[in-house]
Amino acid sequence: MNKLNKSLLLLFALSITNFLQAQEETMANTMRTNGKIYVVVAVLTTILLGLLAYVIRLDKKISKLEKE
Amino acid sequence: MRFTWWKLLSIALLLYAVIGGLLLPVPELTQLGETIRNLYFHVCMWFAMMILFTISIIHSIKYLNNKRAVHDIKSKEYAAVGSYLGILGYATGAIWASYTWADPNNPAYASFGSIMREPKLIGAALALLVYGAYFILRNSITDIDQKARVSAVYNIFAYAMLFPTIWIIPRLLPSLHPGQEGNPALNFNDIDARMRIVFYPAVMGWSLLGVWIASLKIRLEILKEKKFSNE
């Protein structure tokens, strides 16, 4: 179930990127304005969210250990 | 998982610091340019470090008062995360300085030489080394009670050393680093109002993240301790 969820999520993410690329060919979207600063924001936000998710996972694991 | 309010607050503030920190307007200064946004990240590392070291010394004093092992664990882990943030602050400062202080007309090694003679950098390095000695001292004593007592006393000395090395001496000497005449970023006349609305939340967010990571390490250490005593 978990694996299925993950693959579905990946598929969803891929379809979104495809959609964005298709749009870019015709007109500039937010990601391409202001010297592409939004791309940097997206990258940094992804890294930050990834690190926070890691901390949350650690927190959950330690909580599990504490219950045992 | 213990999803307390301050963990959610930390996540929200950090997201705000990254997104708002990159997109909200900042004053335009020559030489600094967009790098002024580093204030939300580089300076916050040092603020968070100072806050974590303060929590650490409070637990050291508590340990000396009531000799409960949990305070020793706490003071060690807060000092560890604080030092880690300090190293990150140093590293980010090194990157920032090499693009704003270095004179492009001089050869790279000449600029490097003058940057390395900066009193702020030497002071910060000294402060981090003093805390480095704290961990060496801890690990060199095998007796648990003695280890806790000696390292609690040393931790108080290490905290006291922060004041001359990063707060006083660098202010007495000429330096390129901002904040010569007071507390950089804390002084209300010194920091632009547009930056304050991101800077203060960013400091809180990073400090809370440091506390969060330290709390995880503490819980893990307590678990280890319990397992050890059960065996």
B209: chain A residues, CB-CB within 8 Å? 55
A14 touches chain B (CB under 8 A): no
A16 touches chain B (CB under 8 A): no
pLDDT digits (tens, 9 = 90+) for B52-110: 999 999 999 999 999 999 999 999 999 999 999 999 999 898 888 877 776 667 776 77
B22: chain A residues, CB-CB within 8 Å? 37, 40-41, 44
Nearest to A45 among B18, B212, B220 (CB): B18
DSSP structure string for chain B: ----HHHHHHHHHHHHHHHHHHHS-----TTTGGGGGGGGTHHHHHHHHHHHHHHHHHHHHHHHHH--HHHHHHHHHHHHHHHHHHHHHHHHHHHHHHHHTS-TTS-HHHHHHHHHT-HHHHHHHHHHHHHHHHHHHHHH--SHHHHHHHHHHHHHHHHHHHIIIIIIHHHHS--SSS-TTS-TTTSTTTS-HHHHHHHHHHHHHHHHHHHHHHHHHHHHHHHHHHHHHH-
pLDDT digits (tens, 9 = 90+) for B207-227: 999 999 999 999 999 999 888
pLDDT digits (tens, 9 = 90+) for B182-206: 555 555 556 677 888 899 999 999 9
Global pTM exceeds 0.90 = no
